[in-house]
Amino acid sequence: MNWQEHLPALILAIPLLGAFATPLFSLGGKTLRNVWMVSISFLTLVLAFFIWKYVGANGVMVYVMGAEKATLALPSGMTYPVRIILEIDGMSAFMALAGSIVSFAGAVYSVQFMDRFTGMNRFTSLYFLLTAGMLGLMITGDLFNFFVFLEIASVASFGLIAFWRDKPEAIEASFKYMLISQLSAMMVLIAIGTLYGRYNVLNMAGVASMLHLGFAEKFVLAFLVVALATKCGTFPMHMWMPDAYAEAPAGVTCLLVAVSQASLYGLMRVCFSLYGATIGSTFIPWVIVIFGTASMFFGVSMAVVQHEVKRLMGYHSISQVGYMLLGLGVGLLALGNPQAMADYGFTAIKGGVYHIFNYTMYKALLFLTAGALYYATGTRDLDKLGGLARKMPYTTFMFAIAAAAISGLPPFNGFVSKLLIYESVFAVHPFFTVAALVTSILTLASFVKVFQTAFLGPEKACFATVKEVPTSMIMGMAILTLAIVLLTLFPTWVLSNLVEPAAKALVDQGGYIGAIMGGGL
Amino acid sequence: MWNKVFTGFGYWDVISWLIFFFIASFFALWLRSIGRRDYKEGTEQDEIYWSGNPVPEDGAEISVPASSSYWGFRKALEPYYKVLVAMHSGHIRDYVGYYVVTAALIAALILVV
């Protein structure tokens, strides 16, 4: 038996085991629980790495749950797949790797960040449930299974956002997210139910192979686009995001960044793999382009005027999601036109995909540094912070790297993905490049404000006793800093080995369908 | 691994940028090294100049708060910010409203476009 063929199941089983066995390991004390938390998240990262290597070498991975042979998608001469199938192509592997890195960094960071609080057993269980939900969204090939993982991730998020339940703001943020999230989940369920009613199949590749764009399919597309765009924080349905990101513990916010990217991945999977060329008119691609441009600009506009550090970063998340939507939307516009795809469409998709990875790393790091500020000073209000660079040199250094990366300053990784987006979207209309550049300048402006007000300036008497955060928090931040530095120094390698395979998998609808409908052999 | 990244319209070369960065750093450090060496640490020469007034002991008294940053920018765009901030009312009723209106609009337009 080749153990590698079971990697798709293992990457879900390990975090689920982590979640449900945590109460048992917690009986052994705090140290054992912390070792358990870090070990499980590290093991998940290792599995994600193996999956990425395997998919890079062998192509799409198919895993049929409960089948005699795990790779047999169509057993006994069946025409359509009936079991729950996990399907991992280059894009899924790419997303799972990014999500697992962030999950590991967040777990290491949380060990000491959450040390002051009770209820860590519940925290650890919910953290792993969130990780499992996120990874499930990224690797499933089944529509209903996608909904289930969406709900697992959502329910775990509600608990984690409201984890500090003595704070009314945390409960309010969780409630807002719950309401919006459940509205989205209902729309996703209606959409999936409609597709099941029409095609009698829940497998994404199976539906994609039969899909004809009729009245119902158009409604389904509209519902899925709006619901998943909301879950990834697109303007004007983004309102939940700054509240939720600000109130969740920093290690959780770090993971929520990756979870929002799982929804963005779902949106792209629907547009590129489920509908693909049958998406019909350019209406939905234009909707995504407009969503992206509006999210970029309005998100950063709101960020500039914030003085609460995590809210400011929350608004930046909306703005950064805008870049990805813009790049991927332009790619979607070019999907039916091979010449446009060759000229600028594929570059835009590469830019969007690359930005997903970059954003996940630097935004997760930014939230961790904001958490470090809160841990050390007890406040997130930039009006009160100041002069902390001498007291917290490691946090300052890592914040500066993440801030430079998100602002798109060369030579940092954020610049490379933004460059790909700027130059490719220019081909559609120069306005989009101008909007993206203005957004980048405003991003820099607001992070200069954070750097100046929190870290620079004279030492404040109220922070005289402040010192650098504990080792595990520095380690958590260092993991993401290292990822940013590597992405910065080796952009060509990253593009060839991480981004291009993912982008190719995204546009290759035939390959995605064929991996299942060909029988998986 | 160290090759250029081609965008289709231009390219990005991290090595050129790093070389530029090191050359610029060299010149910056060289300029610094030819500065005055008779500076005396711990004397009034390294005290903060605070418009001729005594410098407050607590740094909090001489810091510009984040809320005051970019005041001119916000003032110039006040009408824009009035609308944008009003949209972010914090009321869940409004949030659901934006969601439902957007969903309805896209669902209606997708049928006709």
Structural domain boundaries in chain A: 1-279+511-521, 281-489
What residues have CB less than 8 Å from A31, skipping those under 6 apart?
none
Predicted local distance difference test score (pLDDT) of residue A143: 96
Sign of CA dihedral A88, A89, A90, A91: negative
Q: Give residue A217's Cα distance to chain centre.
A: 27
Which of A347, A462, A490 lies nearest to residue B1, judging by beta carbons?
A490
Q: Do B95 and A453 touch (CB under 8 A)?
A: no
pLDDT band for position B2 (50/70/90)?
A: low
Average pLDDT score over residue span A347-360: 97
Q: Do A458 and B96 touch (CB under 8 A)?
A: no
Helix (H), strand (E) at residue A61: strand A61-64
**pLDDT(A520) > 70:** no
Least confident of A150-154, A401-405, A461-465: A461-465
Average pLDDT score over residue span A58-77: 84
Average pLDDT score over residue span A340-351: 95
Average pLDDT score over residue span A296-312: 96
**pLDDT(B1) > 80:** no
Q: B50 vs A273, which has greater pLDDT? A: A273
Q: What's the rounded Cα separation, in Å, for the pair A483 and A445? A: 24
Neighbouring C-beta atoms of residue A340, cutoff 10 Å: 18
pLDDT over 70 percentage in chain A: 99
Average pLDDT score over residue span A71-84: 79
Which of A187, A281, A411 lies nearest to residue B103, judging by beta carbons?
A187
Q: Do B96 and A183 touch (CB under 8 A)?
A: yes
What are A210's two structure tokens? 């039969």
What residues have CB less than 8 Å from B43, skipping those under 6 apart?
none
**Checking DSSP bridges between strand A85-88 and strand B5-6, what pairing results, if any?**
unpaired
pLDDT band for position B48 (50/70/90)?
A: confident
**pLDDT(A521) > 60:** no
Predicted local distance difference test score (pLDDT) of residue A1: 58
pLDDT band for position A466 (50/70/90)?
A: very high
Average pLDDT score over residue span A504-512: 95
Q: Are A44 and A107 in contact (CB under 8 A)?
A: no
> For residue A491, which residues of chain B lie inside 8 Å, CB to CB?
5, 12, 14
Q: B58 vs A51, which has greater pLDDT? A: A51
What are A236's two structure tokens? 């004007």
Burial of A334 (0-12, 13-18, 19+ CB in 10 A): buried
> For residue A305, which residues of chain B lie inside 8 Å, CB to CB?
70, 74, 81, 85
**pLDDT(A52) > 80:** yes
**pLDDT(A492) > 80:** yes
**pLDDT(A124) > 90:** yes
At how many degrees (to 10) do helices A215-231 and A283-304 cross? 20
Minimal CA separation from B38 to chain A, in Å: 25
Which of B73, B98, B107 lies nearest to residue A219, judging by beta carbons?
B107
At how many degrees (to 10) do helices A168-199 and A143-161 cross? 170
Please give the mean pLDDT across all residues of chain B. Answer: 89
What residues have CB less than 8 Å from B36, skipping those under 6 apart?
none
> For residue A457, which residues of chain B lie inside 8 Å, CB to CB?
59, 62-64
Predicted local distance difference test score (pLDDT) of residue A519: 62
Please give the mean pLDDT across all residues of chain A. Answer: 94
Q: Which residue of B has its CA nearest to A281?
A: B113
Q: Do A215 and B9 touch (CB under 8 A)?
A: no
Q: Do B17 and A411 touch (CB under 8 A)?
A: yes
| Region at A467 (left for phi over 0; alpha for psi -120 to 50; beta for the rest) | beta
Q: What's the rounded Cα separation, in Å, for the pair A290 and A296? A: 10
The amino acid that residue A228 corresponds to is L
Q: Which of A276, A279, A280, A129 is nearest to A204 (CA)?
A: A276
Predicted local distance difference test score (pLDDT) of residue A237: 95
**pLDDT(B52) > 90:** no
Least confident of A263-267, A372-376, A421-425, A456-460: A456-460
Minimal CA separation from A417 to chain B, in Å: 10
SS3 (DSSP) at A406 = helix
Q: Do A284 and B70 touch (CB under 8 A)?
A: no
pLDDT band for position A485 (50/70/90)?
A: very high
Average pLDDT score over residue span A318-337: 95
Minimal CA separation from B44 to chain A, in Å: 17
Q: What's the rounded Cα separation, in Å, for the pair A440 and A430? A: 15
**pLDDT(B39) > 80:** no
Q: Encode pLDDT of A157-183 as tens digits.
A: 999 999 999 999 999 999 999 999 999
Which of B84, B92, B111 lies nearest to residue A298, judging by beta carbons?
B84
Q: Are A265 and A137 in contact (CB under 8 A)?
A: yes
Predicted local distance difference test score (pLDDT) of residue A368: 97
For an interface test with A, which of B4, B6, B7, B11 has the most A Cβ atoms less than 10 Å from its Cβ? B7
Hunting for tokens 């052999």 — which residue is that?
A521
Q: Are A181 and A146 in contact (CB under 8 A)?
A: no
pLDDT band for position B10 (50/70/90)?
A: confident
Q: B36 vs A473, which has greater pLDDT? A: A473
How far is residue A474 from each of residues A114, A177, A240, A481, B16, measured CA to CA in Å? 14, 30, 29, 10, 31
Q: Encode pLDDT of A103-117 as tens digits.
A: 999 999 999 999 888
Q: Do A382 and B5 touch (CB under 8 A)?
A: no
> For residue B17, which residues of chain A lie inside 8 Å, CB to CB?
410-411
Q: Do A218 and B5 touch (CB under 8 A)?
A: no
Q: Are A285 and A276 in contact (CB under 8 A)?
A: no
Bridge partners for B6 per DSSP: B11
**pLDDT(A518) > 90:** no
Burial of A72 (0-12, 13-18, 19+ CB in 10 A): middle
